[in-house]
Amino acid sequence: MAQHSIHEQAIALGGVMQAALLVEQVARRGVCPAPDMATAVQAVLNTSPASTIDIFGSEANIREGLKALRVVLSREQPGVHPDIMRYAMSLLHLEGKMRNNDAMLATLGKMIAQSQERLNYFQEPNHDAVIGSLARAYQDTLSKLNFRIQVTGNPTYLNQQRHADQIRMLLLFGVRSARLWRQCGGHRWQLMLSRGKLLRATQDLLTGHSTSQ
Whole-prediction pTM:
0.94
- What is the spatial distance between Cα 87 and Cα 73, in angstroms, rounded to a whole number? 16
Q: Is the peptide bond before 33 cis (omega within 30 degrees of 0)?
A: no
Supply φ then ψ for residue 19, to 5 degrees: -60, -45
Domain ranges of the chain: 6-207
Q: What is the chain's pLDDT, residue by residue, as a tens digit (213 residues)?
A: 345 799 999 999 999 999 999 999 999 999 999 999 999 999 999 999 999 999 999 999 999 999 999 999 999 888 899 999 999 999 999 999 999 899 999 999 999 999 999 999 999 999 999 999 999 999 999 999 999 999 999 999 999 999 999 999 999 999 999 999 999 999 888 788 889 999 999 999 999 876 443
pLDDT for the residue 1: 32
What is the model's pLDDT at position 36? 98
User: According to the model, what pLDDT value does residue 212 have?
Assistant: 41
Short-list 202, 174, 178, 196, CA closest to 188: 178
Give the other-Cβ count within 10 Å of 211's Cβ. Answer: 8
Give the distance from CA 91 to its chain's centroid. Answer: 8
**Interior CA angle at 181 toward 177 and 185, to 5°?**
165
In the chain, at which residue ranges do the beta strands (DSSP E only) sit?
Answer: none
Compute CA distances 166 → 28, 157, 196, 204, whole Å: 13, 10, 34, 31
Q: Which amino acid is at 102?
A: D
Q: At residue 120, what are phi and psi to the nearest 5 degrees?
A: -60, -35
* 153 close to 182: Cβ distance less than 8 angstroms: no
In CATH, what class is 6-207? mainly alpha
